[in-house]
Amino acid sequence: MNDIRPPKLEVYRDEAVARDYDQRWSGALGKKRDVRKARAILKAFDILKEHHGVSFQSALDIPCGTGRFSDLFDAQGCHTIGADLSVEMLQQARAKHPQQDFLCADMGRLPFEDNAIDIGVCIRMLHLVHSSELRVRFLRELNRVCKFGAIIDYRHSHTVRILSRKLRYQLGAYKENPQLPSPRQIQLELQQAGFRPLAKINVHFAPLLSDKLIFPVIPSDA
């Protein structure tokens, strides 16, 4: 399969990128975005919990990066394992959360048995993977190891921001053609990965201005 190592994800193996990563959440705007994302993730967590009627014991946060959301589920009584392909990002995560479990793993081939973990969490990754086939492969692997489903962060193309970027790209005023999937394509990819969404949560209060969506999903055969 092409695009096994998407270049936009490889940059996180750089020591300087890993060291500076958390700066994007440190300013006033960054903090706001961080809080908004955490709120949407917790909402998805509650939807999954209510659907299954159980308390989750374990969560796999992949990719965990520098451990941005490592505390979130522990605070809900759910032991979190953080996994990431970048040793440099994991070093930052371990320094910030010395008491937590982290491991180096590739989302395309997770070192866990089927249904070994209660829920999966995949934040800020799929929009950096331009191949639909690879996104589905990552999600399928998450589905395999997670018993009750997952919380998936997607970005879609049908927003004012992305449409205006596309237009600017065509006029030569933007360097990259945005390659985000449409909402319909996202539904299809979740289905191909064997997931069924329970809800679609807009991260931003003004959905037309924001491309960020969080999906609480369960295995479609559940």
Ligand X SMILES: C[S@@+](CC[C@H](N)C(=O)[O-])C[C@H]1O[C@@H](n2cnc3c(N)ncnc32)[C@H](O)[C@@H]1O
List residues near ligand X by CB under 6 A: 9, 12, 62-65, 68, 84-86, 89, 106-108, 123-125
**Which residues are CB-neighbours of 144 under 8 A, at least 6 positions away?**
110, 114, 115
> CB 38 → ligand X: shortest distance, Å?
10
Cβ-based nearer residue to ligand X, 62 or 201: 62
> CB 155 → ligand X: shortest distance, Å?
12
Cβ-based nearer residue to ligand X, 95 or 208: 95
> CB 31 → ligand X: shortest distance, Å?
14
| Rg of the chain over all Cα atoms, to the nearest angstrom | 17
63 exposed, middle or buried (CB, 10 Å; 0-12, 13-18, 19+)? Answer: buried
Rounded distance between C-alpha atoms, residue 143 and residue 219, angstroms = 7
Cβ-based nearer residue to ligand X, 64 or 213: 64
> CB 108 → ligand X: shortest distance, Å?
6
Do you know the residue count of the chain? 222
Which residue minimizes CB distance to ligand X? 65
Residue 60: φ, ψ to 5°: -110, 115
Cβ-based nearer residue to ligand X, 120 or 197: 120
Cβ-based nearer residue to ligand X, 47 or 107: 107
> CB 149 → ligand X: shortest distance, Å?
18
Rounded distance between C-alpha atoms, residue 131 and residue 135, angstroms = 6
Residue 53: φ, ψ to 5°: 65, 30
Q: Are 159 and 189 in contact (CB under 8 A)?
A: no
